[in-house]
């Protein structure tokens, strides 16, 4: 027995299973599979970067961008509301008035795909005691998209003139049909604002702003307020209903990560 084998066996008597590892390490022959596994080193994580590399210095900035535009579309909620002694009579009258309303809208240049029925109803009316039915009320409401804002007042007035006292105007809101250019302008404004903030933060740290690492866009509520109008339009008002679309704002936010350099 050689000296190296003698020391290995003595170590096995004193330390039990540890001797297997020692024998494998000292023996000139091939290593057992278990010993080979214990010496394997896992590859470094790809996201950690090369060993010893300097961590990337960055600054993250979130800023808002805004762009304004003039609405080119009006959304009008128009309808009819009738009363009669019976449910059938009230509904028949509402249907007739609704037909006149739709014919007027279409003859005014509104396409069928821009007219959507939003509500049809019939329900009883009660006396002051809450028990006795005194009649019935019926109605039909449509949402109308008018793609030429300048014609909205004239169309509303024409509808009221045909339907009469049964006309109901529930509200008007304005929109910008194609917001692509507006959104692009808001993006440019938001990115410009992030650049300004990043420059300030970098300067305060004695560094400079380098290339962009990442950009994430977010959305903010846009100021598209509805325009309040009287619930029931008067048929003898004279002239078209005056409407002012005003201006609308589109708001969005961007979060940009910039690299910092010396």
Length of the chain: 262
pLDDT for 222: 54
Q: Which residues, at least 6 apart from 253, have a Cβ–Cβ distance to it below 8 Å?
A: 62, 63, 64, 65, 190, 217, 218, 219, 220
pLDDT for 226: 41
Token pair for 231: 């619930």
Token pair for 83: 């009363």
Q: What is the mean pLDDT of residues 66-86?
A: 95
Burial grade of 94 (CB within 10 A; 0-12, 13-18, 19 or more): buried
pLDDT for 163: 95
The pTM (predicted TM-score) of the whole model is 0.62
199, 236 contact by CB (below 8 A) = no
Residue written as tokens 């080193």? 41
Name the fold adopted by 58-68+180-222+251-261. Translation Initiation Factor IF3 (3.30.110)
d(Cα 235, Cα 159) in Å, to the nearest integer?
Answer: 9
State which CATH number among 3.40.630.40, 3.40.50.300, 3.30.70.2970, 3.40.50.2300 fits the domain covering 70-177+224-247: 3.30.70.2970
pLDDT above 90 covers what percent of the chain? Answer: 65
d(Cα 170, Cα 166) in Å, to the nearest integer?
Answer: 13
pLDDT for 239: 59
Kindly report, residue by residue over 4-41, the tens digit of the pLDDT.
Answer: 444 333 344 343 333 333 233 334 444 444 433 333 33
| Strand locations in 97-236 (E) | 115-126, 133-146, 167-175, 208-219
d(Cα 233, Cα 243) in Å, to the nearest integer?
Answer: 13
- Domain residue ranges in the chain: 3-40, 58-68+180-222+251-261, 70-177+224-247
pLDDT for 51: 60
58-68+180-222+251-261 and 70-177+224-247 have identical folds: no
């Amino acid at each position: 027995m050689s000296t190296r084998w003698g020391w290995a066996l003595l170590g096995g008597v004193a330390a039990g299973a540890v001797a297997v590892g020692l024998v494998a390490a000292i023996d000139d022959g091939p290593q057992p599979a278990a010993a080979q596994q214990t010496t394997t080193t896992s590859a470094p994580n790809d996201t950690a970067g090369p060993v010893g590399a300097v961590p990337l210095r960055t600054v993250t900035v979130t800023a808002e961008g805004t762009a304004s535009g003039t609405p080119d579309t009006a959304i009008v909620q128009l309808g009819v509301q009738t009363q009669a002694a019976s449910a059938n009579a009230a509904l028949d009258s509402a249907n007739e008035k609704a037909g006149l309303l739709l014919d007027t809208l279409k003859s005014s240049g509104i396409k069928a795909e821009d007219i959507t029925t939003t509500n049809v109803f019939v329900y009883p009316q009660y006396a002051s005691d809450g028990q006795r039915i005194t009649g019935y009320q019926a109605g039909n409401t449509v949402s109308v998209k008018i793609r030429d804002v300048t014609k909205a007042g004239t169309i509303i007035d024409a509808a009221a003139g045909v339907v009469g006292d049964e006309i109901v105007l529930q509200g008007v809101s304005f929109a910008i049909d194609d917001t692509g250019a507006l959104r692009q302008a808001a993006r440019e404004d938001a990115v410009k604002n992030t650049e300004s903030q990043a420059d300030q933060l970098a300067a305060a740290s004695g560094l400079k702003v380098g290339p962009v690492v990442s950009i994430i866009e977010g959305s903010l509520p846009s100021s598209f307020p509805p325009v309040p109008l009287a619930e029931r339009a008067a048929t003898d008002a004279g002239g078209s209903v005056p409407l002012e679309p005003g201006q609308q704002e589109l708001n969005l936010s961007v979060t940009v990560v910039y690299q910092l350099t010396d």
